[in-house]
Structure 1
Amino acid sequence: MPTGVAMRDVREQLFDAAERVLLRDGPDALTSRAVTTEAGCAKGVLHRHFTDFDAFLTELVRDRIRRLAHQGDLLLGCVGRGAIADNLTGFLTDLFSSVAVAIVGLTISRDGLRARLRSSSPSGVPILTEAVAAIAGYLTAERDRGRLDAGADVDTLALTLIGSAHMLFADRTGTPPSPEAVQRLARSVVPQTSVG
């Protein structure tokens, strides 16, 4: 590999490379060598920016959690508009069509990574915990507008949606669920009181 060539946005290039390896080959294939090879850089580049590989993976997961926060903001922007199930279908599809399923597998398979993430995600599975919070926030806003039953337990509904959607999308090598299947799930878990 050439040396002395400056890389722009090194962290983001390494994160994107790790994501490609995760999506293509799964968590077991994710090594510092695989990431740097995928990024087209020397292995030392990763270690110049991160103290070790678990530190790199921790920042990768945290970066993807920050991206999820943006998706949550977009979902909140849908409050009062369209069908609740359609809004949830879009959020769930975007979430699980991305690297989220692979990130879940990664965090489950690496004890050191989970331990480091506990400082910012003290319970549950990182990324899924944040997705549950985003959905619960959205459902609370819809309930406050009267579009969801006043007695709806939004926390349980959010957990049910994330757990069920994760089961639909869990096989990263299989055929992803159809939009209709995701919408059917959302409609069955969260019936709305009106469309208006």
Structure 2
Amino acid sequence: MLNKELLKGLYVLTDATLTPTETMLEQVERVLKSGVSVIQYRDKYASDEEAEKQCIRLQALCDYYEAVFIIDDRLEIAHRINADGLHVGEDDVSYEEARALLGDDKIIGVSCYGDIERAKKYANLGADYVAFGSFFPSPTKPLAKVVEPDVLKVAKAQLSVPICAIGGINEDNIAFLSRYEIAMYSLISAVYKEDAIEDNLEKLQAKI
């Protein structure tokens, strides 16, 4: 049975540019060694074959470090490799389809942007966490709409599932979001910049 209590703290994603195939495993291992307990594979461009290979390796790595491994959007791969979970957004496979295929014990998270009603709907359906954002302009998703942080206050008052903040979060602004006492902070570029993963994570962790 998956330990859903691990859904807290820094939630680190891979990225097609910042964690290329050749170095992804080594980079993610450094993240895990630094104490991060939630990893997401996110690559919108890799072929299914390439993505599956990487996900098999990443799931094994997360198992070794007793961390949770979540795949973004690729339901069939998550099912085939028995991944810990899946993350779905508005334009991805539906939550309902994902839950039907993966079963109740897998972790499924849902992107809710700035939409409290969407979050309530999926929390009631059994989503394991809901994600809001982008809260700041994001280097990896420059077209994402920026959401007012007060949505986190409303979400905290109305939801009992773990809440995740996403989008442009870095060392300079994570403390601001931490005032809302949410469960998770989704990070990409702030972790991998200047290849100083350990130092970056230590500084981010200190701010929450």
> By the TM > 0.5 criterion, same fold?
no
Greater helix share, structure number: 1
Q: Which structure has the bigger radius of gyration?
A: 1
TM norm structure 1: 0.30
Greater strand share, structure number: 2
